[in-house]
């Protein structure tokens, strides 16, 4: 694995959501090169069938393998909950495959102060019951209530954030009885950290809303360090690919990285 140190980290999502993870990685691991693929032509993944999500995930995985990525991080909860095992089997020993669910489950299950957890995510993620199953396996004392919040991804992708429309949608979802009495809310979609402050404000900052992107990036750092895969310096700039150009993707990416990013349209189907 020594020769793979300087190889890039590949990550993918259906759109801009995975940029929250990419930004956290860029902050914590600035010496690592990233190759990001946003499958904007097929977003959102959350309303797709499991077989369709697997098909898209495997196609993008092959693209990232061609780019010699040492790690393939599924930076999408819908794909992490529906296609992780299939991607991992497909990749074999060619790269390390990680998801965005396990680090958050580890974090929440290891916190003795957490008792009642809410999970919000896409229909695909919530219907898979991945968070419930994994949390039950790690800490049976934690109660879990889940709610599908399908309007949040298209809302964010269309740029409706920090305004009355987004606040009304967030308030409508978080007021549901499923999320009553929770002490912690898991953002089960990589898009959601973009509106994390709005969500925290709804709860008057009295509910713990972990920064899932930061948790994923910190566990990635630990993982690479343990396997002697940390890059010593970045040889090439980060590259961002999209399957369909959307102006808002570039706006969000530039906002996160405070610099002009390399954005390329690349259809792989």
**How many Cβ atoms sit within 10 Å of the Cβ of residue 59?**
16
- Checking if the pLDDT of 4 tops 60, the result is yes
Sheet of strand 9-13: strand arrangement: 96-99, 71-74, 9-13, 34-38, 239-242, 262-265
In angstroms, the CA 67 to CA 212 distance is: 27
pLDDT tens digits for range 190-246: 999 999 999 999 999 999 999 999 999 999 999 999 999 999 988 899 999 999 998
**How many Cβ atoms sit within 10 Å of the Cβ of residue 226?**
9
pLDDT tier, 3 (very low <50, low <70, confident <90, very high otherwise): low
CA torsion sign, 264 to 246 to 194 to 210? negative
Pairing, β 143-148 against β 9-13 = unpaired
- Checking if the pLDDT of 25 tops 60, the result is yes
Task: Name the percent of the chain lying above pLDDT 90.
Answer: 84
pLDDT tens digits for range 104-137: 999 999 999 999 999 999 999 999 999 999 999 9
Comparing C-alpha atoms, which of 91, 60, 63, 64 is closest to residue 9?
Answer: 64
As a residue count, the chain comes to 269
Better-predicted residue by pLDDT, 251 or 134: 134
The answer to whether 2-98+214-265 and 102-210 have equal CATH topology is yes
Mean pLDDT value of segment 16-22: 94
Rg (CA), the chain: 18
Comparing C-alpha atoms, which of 253, 233, 258 is closest to residue 29?
Answer: 233
**Residue 96 confidence (pLDDT):** 96
- Checking if the pLDDT of 103 tops 70, the result is yes
Q: 2-98+214-265 is classed in which CATH architecture?
A: 3-Layer(aba) Sandwich (3.40)
Domain ranges of the chain: 2-98+214-265, 102-210
Stretch among 72-76, 100-104, 183-187, 259-263 having the lowest mean pLDDT = 259-263
Question: Whole-model pTM?
Answer: 0.94
pLDDT tens digits for range 137-165: 999 999 999 999 999 999 998 888 889 99
- Checking if the pLDDT of 247 tops 90, the result is no
- Checking if the pLDDT of 2 tops 50, the result is no
In the CATH hierarchy, which fold is given to the domain comprising 102-210? Rossmann fold (3.40.50)
**Residue 88 confidence (pLDDT):** 98
Residues annotated as part of the active site: 76, 189
């Amino acid at each position: 694995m020594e020769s793979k140190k300087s190889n890039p980290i590949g990550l993918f999502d259906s759109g801009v959501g995975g940029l929250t993870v990419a930004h956290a990685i860029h902050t914590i691991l600035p010496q690592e090169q990233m190759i990001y693929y946003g499958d904007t032509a097929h977003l959102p993944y959350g309303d797709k069938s499991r077989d369709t999500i697997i098909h898209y995930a495997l196609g993008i995985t092959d693209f990232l393998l061609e780019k010699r990525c040492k790690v393939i991080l599924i930076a999408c909860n819908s794909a992490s909950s529906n296609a992780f095992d299939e991607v991992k089997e497909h990749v074999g020993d060619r790269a390390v495959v990680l998801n965005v669910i396990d680090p958050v489950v580890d974090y929440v299950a290891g916190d003795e102060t957490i008792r009642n957890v809410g999970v919000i995510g896409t229909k695909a993620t919530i219907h898979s019951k991945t968070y419930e199953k994994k949390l039950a396996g790690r800490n049976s004392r934690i109660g879990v209530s889940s709610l599908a919040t399908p309007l949040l991804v298209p809302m964010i992708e269309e740029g409706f954030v920090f305004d009355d429309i987004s606040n009304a949608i967030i308030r409508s979802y978080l007021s549901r009885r499923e999320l009553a009495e929770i002490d912690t809310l898991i953002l089960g979609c990589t898009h959601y950290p973009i509106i994390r402050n709005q969500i925290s404000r709804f709860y008057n900052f009295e509910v713990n809303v972990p920064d899932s992107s930061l948790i994923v990036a910190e566990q990635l750092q630990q993982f690479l360090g343990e396997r002697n895969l940390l890059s010593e310096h970045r040889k090439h700039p980060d590259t961002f690919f999209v399957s369909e150009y959307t102006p808002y993707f570039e706006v969000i990416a530039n906002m996160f990285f405070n610099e002009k990013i390399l954005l390329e349209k690349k259809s792989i189907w």
